[in-house]
Each structure stands twice: as structure tokens, then as C-alpha cells.
Amino acid sequence: MSYEKEKQVAIDAAIAAAKLCQQVRQAIPAAMEKTDKSPVTVADYGSQALICKAIGDMFGDDPIVAEEDAADLSTSEMAPQLAKVTDYVKELVPEATPEAVKSWIDRGNGEVAPRYWTLDPIDGTKGFLRQDQYAVALALVESGQVKVGVLACPAMPLENGECGILYVAVRGEGAFMAPLAGGDLQPIRVADIGDAANLRFVESVESGHGDQSRQSAVAKAVGITADSLRMDSQAKYGAVASGQAVLYLRLPSPKSPNYREKIWDHAAGTIVVEEAGGRITDMHGKPLDFSIGAKFANNQGVVVSNGTIHEKVLEALA
Ligand SMILES: Nc1ncnc2c1ncn2[C@@H]1O[C@H](COP(=O)(O)OS(=O)(=O)O)[C@@H](OP(=O)(O)O)[C@H]1O
Ligand SMILES: [Mg+2]
Ligand SMILES: [Mg+2]
Ligand SMILES: [Mg+2]
């Protein structure tokens, strides 16, 4: 099946959302705290509203499983924040009202189904707040397999010194990147193992999102001696897909050993890497299971590689 329409709607929505995020970021955004103590900003809500509206308008029957929830924005003390979100959304959707914005955000409360979208309106909110990397990550999943993935990474550097990369993949059609500001999609490939300069691995910036000492031990065991490239968000998948790194390790943090990864933190990134020739499994070599729910209840840790080193990495982990 061709996913031409899905791909185009996803690209347009992600680009619009990334624009909103960059506008918020120029104003040095403040963070609000969610009940799990993690940060969220008006940009996370604005991005989710824009994208869920776009998907809902074009594919009204498709559920969307997204990170944020408008319930936190619905109290009277949050009214000023909701007004701010609405103002940003209005710049791109003039008919936006606070009520409409909340209802668009809540389109993201869908459940995993035979066909669904999953959205992280800002992946790497901590990176967004630090003026580092972040990504708008949107994917379409059918029968448990990611079919379309779009990653908009406004802070990823291009060769010409400018910033902003869009990564796009459709199952069976390859992976591509383009300047986020506009330009043709160019095919990308993972790095070859013989390419010693690219023997780098990527990992999270936040030490609590992984096990950095085990990650560097595993990288060393497969011959990667250079220091890791630390990067927030699914931009790490973009780095592997385009050959800047051969490995992304995300092993359970000793601080939260029972944490289960969320589907929106990986869906778009995984198809971009797979279509660029790479491989993804959990730390035990099992495929990530996108068919059960918002959390990967049956997977632990994530290993993303250029493919050729994957078995060696799994052996080092075993
Ligand atoms: N304990 C633990 N272990 C693993 N992952 C966790 C954990 N806690 C949170 N999260 C999720 O991490 C998402 C951000 O991941 P990053 O790789 O961007 O982390 S980092 O900012 O580079 O450190 C972040 O996504 P966003 O909330 O979209 O930013 C969280 O979903
Ligand atoms: Mg979050
Ligand atoms: Mg995330
Ligand atoms: Mg997020």
C-alpha cells in the first residue's frame, strides 16, 4: 500500500509544529511540571494541538496515541497558559479558541489499535528548555508495524552551518532527510562499519534516562573507543540513520530499573533508521512491540545500530 497522503499530511503537520516550537523557544520558555514531575511547556501543548487537528481533519477515524493531555490545562489557574498556547496555535490556525485547542490536544488520548498514529509533540523537552536538541516525532502504525515516520529536528546542524533537519521514512521506500526550512528530500544511509571516523555511539544527555557506564562498556566491547555523542531526543535516531553514529544505546537506568519505554519516544525514529539500513531491538534482541499499548510492556532497553554491529552488541549485553 502507498502512504503518499499520510506521509504528506505528517510532514506538513510536523513542519508547522516545529515552527510553533521555535517561536516559543525564542521567548525562553518556562516549564510547567506534570504529575510525574517531568517538564512540559506551552510548545508541547501547541505542537500536539496542531498535529492532532491536522491528523483528525484528514484521517478522522484514526486514533492518536500522544504524550500530552489537556486535563492539566483545564484548571482555572492554568487559564493563562491555555491562552498562551491558543495564541501560538492561532498564528497557524486562525480559528483556534481555547476550547478547540483543548479538544485537539485530547484527540491524542486514543488507544493502540490495528491502525493508529503515535505522537511526541516535543521529544526531549529538557533539551528544548536547555536550547539543545529536541524533535517533533510522528508515526503511523499498522498491524504493529511502523509504516510512516516523520522527525522534525529544528536544532540539528546541516552541513552548511544552518540548523533544522526533517527526517522522513515510509516502509519499503527508504529514508530521507531535507532541510527543515525547505528543500528536496535526499536519501540517507547508515554508516558502514569500515568507516572508522563514524565509529561513534549516541546516548541521552540525562543520566537518568539510561545507564551510561554500562552503555560505554558495551560500546568499548564492540570496538567503539571514542567518547559518546550525547544528544537529547529522537535526533539520536537521525544521527544513526544519516551515518553520524553507528550505535544508539538506551539501557535501563539503575535509578528507575522498572521504567518502561513509551511508543512515541521511538516509533518515528525506528522506521527512519530501519529504512536507512539499520536495525532496532530491545536489549535482549527482541523486536519492539508496537501492538500492545503506550508502553513497551514486553521490551526492556533499546539498541539501535547500523545493522552490521548489532549481533556483537547483543552478545556484549548478554
Ligand atoms: N527513567 C527514564 N528512562 C528512560 N526514558 C525516560 C525516563 N524518564 C523519562 N524518559 C523519557 O525520555 C525522553 C527523553 O529522552 P532523551 O533520550 O531525549 O533524553 S535526554 O534528554 O537526552 O536525556 C522523555 O521524552 P519527553 O518527555 O518527550 O522529553 C521521556 O519520555
Ligand atoms: Mg515529556
Ligand atoms: Mg519523548
Ligand atoms: Mg515529549
Alpha carbon separation from 314 to 96, 135, 211, 259 (Å, rounded): 49, 27, 16, 20
Question: Exposed, middle or buried: residue 31 (CB in 10 Å: 0-12, 13-18, 19+)?
Answer: middle
Question: And the C-alpha cell for 294?
Answer: 503506550
Q: What is the pLDDT along the chain (318 residues), one digit of tens a residue?
A: 799 999 999 999 999 999 999 999 998 778 999 888 899 999 999 999 999 999 999 999 999 999 999 998 999 999 999 999 999 999 999 999 999 999 999 999 999 999 999 999 999 999 999 999 999 999 999 999 999 999 999 999 998 899 999 999 999 999 999 999 999 999 999 998 776 666 899 999 999 999 999 999 999 999 999 999 999 999 999 999 999 999 999 999 999 989 999 999 999 999 999 999 999 999 999 999 999 999 999 999 999 999 999 999 999 999
Contact 41, 122 (CB under 8 A): yes
Does pTM top 0.90 for this prediction? yes
Q: Which SS3 state, helix, strand or coil, does residue 311 take?
A: helix
Residue nearest to atom 9 of ligand 1 (CA): 209
Q: Answer yes or no: is the C-beta of 47 below 6 A from any ligand 1 atom.
A: no
pLDDT score for 270: 98
Residue nearest to atom 18 of ligand 1 (CA): 233
Q: At 124, which amino acid appears? A: G
Query: E strands, 158-265, where?
Result: 163-170, 174-179, 186-187, 201-203, 229-230, 247-250
Who contacts 7 (Cβ-Cβ below 8 Å, separation ≥6)? 148, 150, 168, 170
pLDDT score for 198: 67
Q: Answer yes or no: is the C-beta of 192 below 6 A from any ligand 1 atom.
A: no
pLDDT score for 196: 67
Q: Which SS3 state, helix, strand or coil, does residue 288 take?
A: coil
Q: Answer yes or no: is the C-beta of 229 below 6 A from any ligand 1 atom.
A: no
Rounded-to-integer distance, Cα 139 and Cα 189, Å? 20
Which ipTM value was assigned to this complex?
A: 0.95
Alpha carbon separation from 235 to 123, 230, 232, 245, 293 (Å, rounded): 9, 10, 7, 11, 23
Q: Is 125 part of the annotated catalytic residue set?
A: yes
Annotated binding site for Mg(2+): 67, 120, 122-123, 265
- Which one of the ligands is nearest to 108 CA? 4
Question: And the C-alpha cell for 249?
Answer: 544505546
pLDDT score for 30: 83
Beta bridge partners of 78: none
Question: Exposed, middle or buried: residue 146 (CB in 10 Å: 0-12, 13-18, 19+)?
Answer: buried
In order of start, what are the domains of the chain with their CATH numbers? 4-187 (3.30.540.10), 196-317 (3.40.190.80)
Alpha carbon separation from 13 to 17, 69, 73, 226, 271 (Å, rounded): 6, 19, 22, 37, 18
Q: Is 61 part of the annotated catalytic residue set?
A: no
pLDDT score for 283: 97
Ligand 1 center to residue 124 CA distance, Å?
6
Q: Answer yes or no: is the C-beta of 203 below 6 A from any ligand 1 atom.
A: no
Rounded-to-integer distance, Cα 128 and Cα 102, Å? 22
Catalytic, out of 118, 125, 270, 281: 125
Q: How many CA atoms lie within 13 A of 261 on its CB side?
A: 28
pLDDT score for 199: 87
Atom of ligand 1 nearest to the CA of 39: 27
Q: Answer yes or no: is the C-beta of 68 below 6 A from any ligand 1 atom.
A: no
Contact 212, 251 (CB under 8 A): no
